[in-house]
Amino acid sequence: MGRDKKSTVAFLEGNGEFNQYEVLDFTNALKGDFNVKRISTQSLESKNPEIDILIVAGPKQPFSEKDKFIIDQFIMQGGKVVWLIDPVQVSLDSLSSGFQTFAFPRDLNLGDQLFKYGVRLNYELLQDVDCAQLLVNTAPAGSQSQWNLFPWYYSPLLIPVDNHPLSRNLNRIYTEFVSSVDTVSGNQNLAKSIILTTSPYARRVKSPSSVSLENIKNPPARELFNQSFIPVGVLVEGEFTSVFENRMIENLGISGVDFQVKSKPTKMVIIGDAGLISNNVNYSKQPPQIQELGYDRVSKQTFGNKEFLLNTIYYLNDEAGIMQLRSRTVQLRLLDKVKLREEKSFWQWLNIFAPLVIVLLFGLGYNFIRRYRYSR
């Protein structure tokens, strides 16, 4: 049965989340099918307006226990949430000015809540051989600039999993400074699905750690990238249990009259990279100018960030299970770009000399048979 009104998607604000310009491209993409708002936790508590899907995109400040309680009860009442979280903090300003910075764990006070919902965000950064590239000036100081392309292992091109309707048949996702996500057992009423992973050539770097542009010229040994398909995004569906179960919520200044311990059947998505939803913004112009979400300025290519996130919202909003009908799988036999890069010379020489050798062997064999036949 179809809906008689548009569902409402709300971006949470109040804890340092991305501002309206940083998510403007995705907001514009949503407006055709959804009402889009920006709300605080206080507005969420008052249920004014009624919210169907909440997006928590890139918080930088810890959540108070009361804010967590409000979000928790929103979920218990059947609300859906998309969590886009950076568990590790990296200063891009320090990296661009000094060629080196440090990655530190970011405490948002959400660990226990997400763990109760069946997911754990790990305080680590992922490196991947299948990654975006950076333009780096390799000329000596004082000489003319010479820009060259180098792989940037901290910018994995993530793979949407092809066995789920939410992430099926989508292009790769452009990211930077990504963390992994683990599922945890405990609640048998929850079903968990991995929807986003690294390539087969990835590795984990625990934080705190240093992040340096010098690693571009002296990359880690290829043998270290030996972990395949590390989870970055997880879909959780079912009946959730409140993180405030068996806690004295009155000490938080909260009345327990309408407190719900078990949720209605609902869904949420947890992704270990907040920047996946953020578009680049040029604040030097008024109004600020934005680039398309997923656009890579180096390769001039637009990746599948927007389509993936739209699919996520449509799936969470799909109460009739219509997206489950997307059962047809289009298997794209893509070239392995890592093997292509590492074995490039071998295949080039093979394609040059193999035809020559075949023609030479054919010519020698033909002449041998011809001479043998007519010499008799």
Mean pLDDT to the nearest integer, 293-302:
93
| pLDDT confidence of residue 143 | 82
Burial 39-52 (b: 16+ CB within 10 A, else e): bebebbbeeeeebb
Kindly indicate the confidence band of residue 214, based on its pLDDT and cuts at 50, 70 and 90: confident
| pLDDT confidence of residue 47 | 74
Mean pLDDT to the nearest integer, 104-124:
96
| pLDDT confidence of residue 138 | 75
Mean pLDDT to the nearest integer, 285-289:
89
Kindly indicate the confidence band of residue 45, based on its pLDDT and cuts at 50, 70 and 90: confident
| pLDDT confidence of residue 356 | 87
Q: Which residue has the higher pLDDT, 344 or 149?
A: 149
Residues 22 and 281: beta-carbon distance below 8 Å: yes
- The pTM (predicted TM-score) of the whole model is 0.84
Q: How far apart are alpha carbons 362 and 355 in whole angstroms?
A: 10
| pLDDT confidence of residue 5 | 80
Residue 332 has pLDDT above 60, yes or no: no
- Tally Cβ neighbours within 10 Å of residue 107: 12
Kindly indicate the confidence band of residue 176, based on its pLDDT and cuts at 50, 70 and 90: very high
Q: How far apart are alpha carbons 167 and 148 in whole angstroms?
A: 34
| pLDDT confidence of residue 137 | 77
| pLDDT confidence of residue 256 | 62
Residues 193 and 235: beta-carbon distance below 8 Å: yes
3-state per-residue secondary structure call for the chain: CCCCCCEEEEEECCCCCCCCCCCHHHHHHHCCCEEEEEECHHHHHHCCCCCCEEEEECCCCCCCHHHHHHHHHHHHCCCEEEEECCCEEECHHHHHHHCEEEEEECCCCCHHHHHHCCEEECCEEEEECCEEEEEEECCCCCCCCCEEEEEEEEEEEEEECCCCCCCCCCCCEECCCCCCEEECCCCCCEEEEEEEECCCCEEEEECCEEEECHHHHCCCCHHHCCECCCEEEEEEEECCECCCCCCCHHHHCCCCCCCCCECCCEEEEEECCHHHHCCCEECCCCCCEECCCCEECCCCEECCHHHHHHHHHHHHHCCCCHHHHCCCCCCCCCCCHHHHHHCHHHHHHHHHHHHHHHHHHHHHHHHHHHHHHHHC
pLDDT tens readout for residues 228-280: 999 999 999 999 999 998 888 877 777 666 789 999 999 999 999 999 999 99
Q: Which of 191, 155, 124 is nearest to 303 (CA)?
A: 155
Q: What is the mean pLDDT of the chain?
A: 88
Residues 173 and 157: beta-carbon distance below 8 Å: yes
104-108, 123-127, 222-226, 320-324: the lowest-pLDDT one: 320-324
293-302, 328-337, 352-361: the lowest-pLDDT one: 328-337
| pLDDT confidence of residue 286 | 87
| pLDDT confidence of residue 1 | 43
How much of the chain, in percent, has pLDDT values that exceed 70?
90
pLDDT tens readout for residues 50-81: 899 999 999 999 999 999 999 999 999 999 99
Kindly indicate the confidence band of residue 333, based on its pLDDT and cuts at 50, 70 and 90: low
Kindly indicate the confidence band of residue 18, based on its pLDDT and cuts at 50, 70 and 90: very high
